[in-house]
Chain A
């Protein structure tokens, strides 16, 4: 009899312990699944990113896929019309194709040319003026700008919470269906930070898988002599902020980096953009004022406006003969990465 009581006690204690342990777990069916870790592949011969953008945001397949869905979802904007992808189109290397300025809420213009999105793990500061210091907080800017997506983050989250597919995807990525701004922003950062473009003809030539033709080779030699200081290989930018001699646009009155630092020495300085995929990211410059690559080369040849903060390497301009112009543009076309532009992994889910 006493033995039976003892066994009963043990039975209850064990049952209680199991129940307690189970209660600590999420009751959700997905909680037993672990997200699949991913590793950002650094292309061979490239420098290491200056900081690990995924240090506090472990990259996973589920996080990436959630970010991808968010990137293509118009509900991130006030009227449902403007997904991230509406200004960042894959076929334009995630810039806005053929637009100097993009369109936002209520038929408004943006104030700058949408930059292409790739290789952002190497870019310590984001935006033309470097105002954004971390990839996770970048999306807040277009999402809340009244002339872009014009939405507030709480309202976006309210919309997403009603969607069972998001409940499922947040659970798969983060272990529970809780949706907050941090999870949404981290997922977006996983998608956008994973966009790597490293398979252009130039890359294949560098890997010994292809050869430049004569004009491309002449263009590459010219490039190394005249452009490589700022548009440094292999990322084709040194991520510095420079005044490249564009006169101030009187309507936009955009002084670039100075708005962020408050330093007059930064007047009219903008981030040096990467030249990868440059043949599909026209029009060019921070406000899209130059339509073609010929216009850009002409600007450096004979359009430089002198000013106190003009980059010292541009004081005399960079002259190009007509033949040289053609050659350098042939070379620039070898930076187009069709693998990246057509990568199904990055397309609308």
Chain B
């Protein structure tokens, strides 16, 4: 009898240790009823996929141009439901047209009904004044101004015969996080149907297109001949940001 008790005692102890171990391992995995969401950004010119370097486009002012570089920050992503919103933790993403992996954002939300997505186009003002950052906010990403501290929120570069700058270059480095020329844009996109139920254990994909052709017009006309380089915070940068605030379109939300 005593031996049996002892044996049980050891078995219980072993089970106890095992349970501690398994809790260690579960610490970093998501809760069971979470839904995995994948947000996919597709950069277009009007209806067609943007092609860097090799395609020549025409802007609304009949100016021909190519695009060699296109980057912008998507930050503080959240999904809305009736009760409020679910924010992604530590959410700073540099969408870079030359890097496919950068165009996908993964995060988890609790299962439930969602009706819209929201994010900031740019880097919030706090992170412009908080010193050296890492990951997509690392200054080596070439999106940080060293002479006038702050992030370039969006960047487009290329060539156009209408630019009188060296090698017919045009460059838009759009930044400025405070004062009248703040270029930060809060983007809110409704889901196509009113609300979509995100079922536990499933994966969902949200496709968002960005029409880069919007950068040129409405509400402000930006002509390459007049403004081949906009690379400092100020009225011109603000004007481009007013235009590109309209570039996003939520295409579809589908189970993977």
Are A136 and B132 touching (Cβ within 8 A)? yes
Of B14, B21, B140, which one neighbours A6 at CB under 8 angstroms? B14
Of B7, B146, B150, B181, which one neighbours A144 at CB under 8 angstroms? B146
By beta carbon, the residue of chain A nearest B235 is: A262
Are B14 and A9 touching (Cβ within 8 A)? yes
Given A137-B131, A137-B139, A262-B181, check contact A14 B17 (CB 8 Å).
Answer: yes
Bound-complex Cα distance A127 to B146 (A): 11
Bound-complex Cα distance A135 to B129 (A): 10
| Chain A positions 46-77 with a Cβ under 8 Å from a chain B Cβ | 56-57
Of A14, A141, A181, which one neighbours B140 at CB under 8 angstroms? A181
Contact digits for B23-51, partner A, Cβ 8 Å, 1 yes 0 no:
01000000000000000000000000000
List the B side residues contacting A10 at CB < 8 Å: 10, 13-14, 17
List the B side residues contacting A136 at CB < 8 Å: 131-132
For the complex, is A2 an interface residue (Cβ under 8 Å from B)? yes
For the complex, is A290 an interface residue (Cβ under 8 Å from B)? no
For the complex, is A260 an interface residue (Cβ under 8 Å from B)? yes
Of A9, A140, A189, A259, which one neighbours B10 at CB under 8 angstroms? A9
For the complex, is A13 an interface residue (Cβ under 8 Å from B)? yes
For the complex, is A109 an interface residue (Cβ under 8 Å from B)? no
Number of chain B interface residues as a range: 20 to 34
List the A side residues contacting B11 at CB < 8 Å: 6, 9
List the A side residues contacting B131 at CB < 8 Å: 56-57, 134-137, 185-186, 189
Are A262 and B138 touching (Cβ within 8 A)? no
| Chain B positions 144-163 with a Cβ under 8 Å from a chain A Cβ | 144, 146-150
Are A131 and B149 touching (Cβ within 8 A)? yes
Are B232 and A262 touching (Cβ within 8 A)? yes
Are A182 and B132 touching (Cβ within 8 A)? yes
List the B side residues contacting A134 at CB < 8 Å: 129-132, 149
Bound-complex Cα distance A131 to B129 (A): 11
Most buried by A among B6, B14, B138: B14
By beta carbon, the residue of chain A nearest B6 is: A3
For the complex, is B233 an interface residue (Cβ under 8 Å from A)? yes
Contact digits for B202-231, partner A, Cβ 8 Å, 1 yes 0 no:
000000000000000000000000000000
Are A20 and B146 touching (Cβ within 8 A)? no
Contact digits for A1-33, partner B, Cβ 8 Å, 1 yes 0 no:
011001101100110110010000000000000
Bound-complex Cα distance A137 to B127 (A): 12
For the complex, is B3 an interface residue (Cβ under 8 Å from A)? yes
**Least Cβ–Cβ distance between B11 and chain A, in angstroms:** 6
Are B133 and A141 touching (Cβ within 8 A)? no
List the A side residues contacting B100 at CB < 8 Å: none
List the A side residues contacting B148 at CB < 8 Å: 131, 259-260
List the A side residues contacting B7 at CB < 8 Å: 2-3, 6
List the B side residues contacting A259 at CB < 8 Å: 148
List the A side residues contacting B166 at CB < 8 Å: none
List the B side residues contacting A307 at CB < 8 Å: none
Given A13-B17, A135-B131, A136-B132, check contact A153 B10 (CB 8 Å).
Answer: no
Of A9, A132, A153, A262, which one neighbours B139 at CB under 8 angstroms? A153
For the complex, is B134 an interface residue (Cβ under 8 Å from A)? yes
List the A side residues contacting B13 at CB < 8 Å: 10
Bound-complex Cα distance A9 to B17 (A): 11
Are B3 and A3 touching (Cβ within 8 A)? yes
**Least Cβ–Cβ distance between B235 and chain A, in angstroms:** 8
Bound-complex Cα distance A57 to B8 (A): 52
For the complex, is A119 an interface residue (Cβ under 8 Å from B)? no
**Least Cβ–Cβ distance between A53 and chain B, in angstroms:** 8
Given A10-B17, A144-B146, A262-B233, check contact A133 B10 (CB 8 Å).
Answer: no
Most buried by A among B7, B24, B134, B139: B139
Contact digits for A239-264, partner B, Cβ 8 Å, 1 yes 0 no:
00000000000000000000111100
**Least Cβ–Cβ distance between A230 and chain B, in angstroms:** 24
Given A153-B140, A182-B133, A189-B131, check contact A141 B18 (CB 8 Å).
Answer: no
Bound-complex Cα distance A145 to B133 (A): 20
**Least Cβ–Cβ distance between B66 and chain A, in angstroms:** 25
Are B6 and A141 touching (Cβ within 8 A)? no
Are A185 and B21 touching (Cβ within 8 A)? no
For the complex, is A154 an interface residue (Cβ under 8 Å from B)? yes
List the B side residues contacting A144 at CB < 8 Å: 146
A10-B17, A262-B233 known, 13 other contacts, Cβ within 8 Å: A3-B6, A3-B7, A56-B131, A133-B150, A136-B132, A137-B132, A137-B139, A144-B146, A152-B140, A153-B140, A180-B134, A186-B131, A262-B181
Can you spell out 7 A-B residue pairs with CB atoms less than 8 angstroms apart?
A6-B7, A10-B14, A13-B21, A135-B131, A181-B139, A259-B148, A262-B232
Instruction: For the complex of A and B, list the 4 residue pairs with the smallest distance between their C-beta atoms, beginning with the closest.
Output: A136-B131, A6-B10, A185-B132, A136-B132
